[in-house]
A = this chain, B = another copy of it.
Amino acid sequence: MTDTVSEIRDAKAAALRMAVLDGGVKRAAIEAMAAAVEANRGAILEANAEDVRDAEGKVQAEILSRLRLNDSKISDMVSSLRDVAALPDPVGETMSATELDEGLVLYQIRCPIGLIGVIFESRPDVVPQIMSLCLKSGNSVAFKGGSEAGRSNRVLFGILRDAAVSAGVPGEAFVLMETREAISDILKLDGYIDLLIPRGSYSFVRYIQENTRIPVLGHSAGVCHVYVDAEADMEKAFRVALDSKIQYPAACNAAEKLLVHSAAARYFLPRMADLFAANGVEMRVDGRCRPHLLGFDAKDASEEDWYAEYDSRIIAIRMVDSADEAIGFINSHGSHHTDCIVTENAETQRRFARMVDSADVFINASTRFADGYRFGKGAEVGISTGKIHARGPMGMEGLTIYKYVLVGGGQTVGEYSGPDAKKYKHRHVDSKYRL
């Protein structure tokens, strides 16, 4: 048995103790984690500076910017930890209660999932974010970070775990794996790890999804669309399309495609092209858009452009003749992440919201709003484009499940069967059962 496997096994065993941790202990532990990060800014920044020095020139600028910590990112970690500490304890909440019969009440009670595996690239701020959410929701967590962030992750993890342990949380509940082989170990541990959350590039997430039997939540691609309808308010359309593209082009929720109704194109496209040009956005367009873009610098879109995730200041623009054509195109070419319509027509809004098969369907609002913090979840575990368990920006609710607790007085199913069967009441009640 490798070290990884034995640590994972211990973390799984600790999950049962995590599940019954007192809410006050969890809150105090996360507050201690916040204080410890605050008190160790110097050590964290120093370790991170070494990681950055080693990575410079070897990795893309985008990865380097995710890797690099500074005082403001550390302040964000501290305030995010305090936000999570202040959230209500989700464990033990009665989600529903049904009286099956007099003196026989069924409670559906929220509980942790068990052991969460998190595999991520470059971004050390994932560690405090997910560690606090797992602790608050009563789960154990095993991390495997990218080697380029090795020192940053190790220092952060140590500080956070020590703080949690000092508040009474079992230390075995937290595992940081550092070897390259750890990933292949993790992917095989479906007997121990209940849920895997990968955060990283398309190929990285696809690799995880295709090589494990553990349930995986997350997203590999973020190919988001903005559709400007014939009945769009043009001022909203300009604002939403521009923000969706440029507010943070490297984000998964940035728009990569702009679909324009043919009836709106003549007015919309030239002015939109001005805005894109002024903001350094490269346009790749279909032939039908060309006549409206005379004098603009725009490339011809290739077939691949309609599926591409650029993560940079490039946008592909296509003309459509109806909202239904836009819906069909988004469903067949997108990644079921976040797609937006700009229109004033309530019926078209509703049709788009119903028919677009994406985690987030936005009406007259930037795709960049697709984010756990902006959605009011405190922090984010990840964004799921799957259809199972949790979809879209995922907060703590994605780390919980429920159990059914049936409280009776010696009832048998025999009494409710056969010719003289007692009848079930099946009445929803307001009663709570505090686990």
- Which residues of A are at the interface with B, using a C-beta cutoff of 8 A? 16, 19-20, 92, 98, 100, 104, 106, 109, 113-114, 194-195, 209-210, 213, 215, 233, 235-236, 239-240, 242-243, 247-248, 331, 342, 349-350, 353-355, 357-366, 368-370, 374-376, 386-389, 391-393, 401-414, 416-417, 424, 426, 433-435
CB<8 Å pairs between A and B, sample of 14: A16-B331, A215-B386, A233-B410, A235-B410, A240-B410, A240-B412, A353-B403, A361-B403, A361-B404, A362-B405, A363-B406, A364-B409, A375-B404, A389-B389
User: What is the CB-to-nearest-CB distance from A368 to chain B, in angstroms, rounded to a whole number?
Assistant: 4
Report chain B residues within 8 Å CB of A392. 402-404
Extra inter-chain contacts (8) besides given A247-B414, A362-B406, A375-B404, CB under 8 Å: A114-B357, A247-B412, A350-B434, A361-B404, A369-B408, A374-B413, A388-B388, A392-B402
Q: For A114, what are the chain B residues with a Cβ–Cβ distance below 8 Å? A: 357, 387
A349 to B433, CA, bound (A): 11
Tell me how far the C-beta of A431 lies from the nearest C-beta in chain B, rounded to whole angstroms: 14
Residue numbers in B under 8 Å from A376 (CB-CB):
98, 100, 106, 424, 426
Q: Are B403 and A391 in contact (CB under 8 A)?
A: yes
Contact B369–A407 (Cβ < 8 Å): no
A342–B412 Cα distance when bound, in Å, is 13
Q: Is the CB of A100 within 8 A of B412?
A: no
List B contacts of A435 (CB < 8 A).
350, 353-354
Please tell me if the beta carbons of A359 and B404 are within 8 angstroms of each other in the complex: yes
The 10 tightest CB contacts between A and B, nearest first, are: A236-B410, A365-B408, A243-B412, A376-B426, A368-B413, A389-B389, A362-B406, A215-B388, A113-B387, A194-B387
Taking a contact as CB atoms closer than 8 A, the residue among B210, B403, B434 that contacts A359 in the complex is: B403
* Cβ contact within 8 Å between B409 and A16: no
In the complex, are the beta carbons of B375 and A106 less than 8 A apart? Answer: yes
If A236-B410, A409-B364 touch, does A195 touch B388 (CB 8 Å cutoff)? Answer: yes
Q: Given A195-B388, A412-B240, A413-B374, check contact A364 B424 (CB 8 Å).
A: no
- Cα separation A360 to B109 with both chains bound (whole Å): 10
Interface centre among A104, A215, A353 (most CB of B within 10 A): A353
Chain B positions within 8 Å of A417 at CB level: 247
Bound-state Cα–Cα, A331 to B210, Å: 30
**Assembly CA distance A407 to B369 (angstroms):** 11
A151 to chain B, nearest CB (A): 30
Contact of A354 among B20, B386, B406 (CB under 8 A): B20
Q: Does the CB pair B100–A406 fall under 8 Å?
A: no
Residue ID in chain B nearest A376 by CB atoms: B426
> Which residue of the partner chain, among B20, B393, B403, B411, contacts A365 with CB atoms under 8 Å?
B411
Is A98 touching B407 in the complex (CB atoms < 8 A)?
A: no
Which residues on B sit within 8 Å (CB–CB) of A235?
A: 410
CA–CA, A20 and B347, complex, Å: 14
Q: Which of A247, A386, A404 has the most CB of B within 10 A?
A: A404
Give A253 to B407 CA distance when docked, in angstroms: 17
| CB atoms of B411 and A100 under 8 A apart | no
- Cβ of A349: which chain B residues have Cβ within 8 Å of it? 407
**Smallest Cβ distance from A190 to chain B, in angstroms?**
9
B215, A215: Cβ atoms closer than 8 Å: yes
**CB of A353 to closest CB in B, whole Å:** 5
Distance in Å: Cβ of A214 to nearest Cβ of chain B: 10
A384 (CB) vs chain B CBs: closest residue: B401
Give the nearest-CB partner of A242 in chain B: B412
A388 touches B194 (CB 8 A): yes
Residues of B within 8 A of A388 (CB): 113, 194-195, 215, 388-389, 401
Min CB distance A378 to B, Å, is 9
Q: How far is the CA of A343 from the CA of B73 in the complex (A)?
A: 53
**Residue of A100, A248, A359, A366 with highest tally of chain B CB at under 10 A:** A366
Provide the bound-state CA to CA distance between A132 and B419, in Å. Answer: 27
List residues of chain B with CB within 8 A of the CB of A401: 387-389, 391
> Which residues of chain B are within 8 angstroms of A104 by Cβ–Cβ distance?
365, 369
In the assembled complex, which residues on chain B have CB atoms less than 8 Å from the CB atom of A357? 16, 19, 114
